Amino acid sequence: MAMMASWPLPTLGLGAAAAALAWSQAPDAPAYAVPLSEARLLLHATALPDGIYGSQPTASPAMAMADGTLVWKLRVGNDEVLRYTATLTALDPANTRVALALSAPPEGKLAVKTRQGLADHPEIAAFYLKAMEEQIAATLEKRPYDYEAIMPAMGVAMIGSMAEMSDQMDGAAARLDESAVRDVGEFGVENDPDEGIVD
C-alpha cells in the first residue's frame, strides 16, 4: 500500500505555503483514555505507519522536544522531507488529547519542494495526516492498525494523483509533438503530396 510521488516522495505522483504552514487536526484533535505520562511513553516508542510512504524514504524514531511535543521525521537519503508533530495535553489525570500536525521541514534541500507539493496537493497532506492519526490511535487504544480507516482519504489522494499524472502525460505528448516539428525544420524533411504516386 505505497503512496508516493514525484516531489521528493517517490510513488503516487503526489505532489505545504510558508515554512510555518501545517496540516493539523486541531481543534478537533481526539482524546484517549490514557494518562499523559503513559501516552507520551507509548508514542515515543511508536514508528511511522508501514506501507504508506514507498520504499525510498526512511523514518527517524520519535524525538521528544523541549516544548513537550513529539516529532517524527521522514527522510530521503540524509535529507528531511516531511515531519509530524504531536502535541499532548492532559484533559484530566486519565485522559490525554493528541493534536497532530504535518508539515514540510523548516529548512534543508527538500523544504521548498515539499512545501509547494503539499500546498498543491492538500488531499495528499490529508491522507498522510490520517495515516499517522490512525497509527497514534492504534497505539494508544492498544489495537492493530486499521487500514480500512484510511481508505477514504487514500482514495481521494489517488484521484488527485491520477489527475496530475494525466496532466503530466498530456504535457509529455505536447513536448514530443514540438520535438517532431523541430526535427522536420532542422533536417528539411517535408511530406511530398506526390511522393509514392506512380503515373
Averaged pLDDT of the chain = 74
Taking only the tens place, the pLDDT of each residue in 90-100 is: 999 999 999 99
Does some domain include residue 57?
A: yes
Residue 63 has pLDDT above 60, yes or no: yes
Distance CA 22, CA 84 (A): 9
pLDDT score for 92? 96
- 125-142-154 Cα angle (round to 5): 25
Q: Which residue has the cell 492504534?
A: 138
Does some domain include residue 172?
A: no
Does some domain include residue 13?
A: no
Number of domains in the chain: 1
Instruction: Kindly report the CATH number assigned to the domain that includes residue 155.
Output: 3.30.530
Task: Name the most confidently modeled range: 7-11, 53-57, 108-112, 141-145.
Answer: 141-145
Name the pLDDT band for 114 (thresholds 50, 70, 90). confident
Task: Name the most confidently modeled range: 65-79, 147-161, 172-186.
Answer: 65-79
Residue ranges making up the domain that contains 152: 22-167
Does some domain include residue 107?
A: yes
Does some domain include residue 176?
A: no
Does some domain include residue 72?
A: yes
Query: All 3 cell numbers of residue 55?
Result: 520504499
Does some domain include residue 181?
A: no
Residue 157's closest CA among 114, 120, 126, 193?
Answer: 126
> Is residue 57 within 8 Å of residue 48, measured between CB atoms?
no
Does some domain include residue 185?
A: no
> Is residue 98 within 8 Å of residue 140, measured between CB atoms?
yes
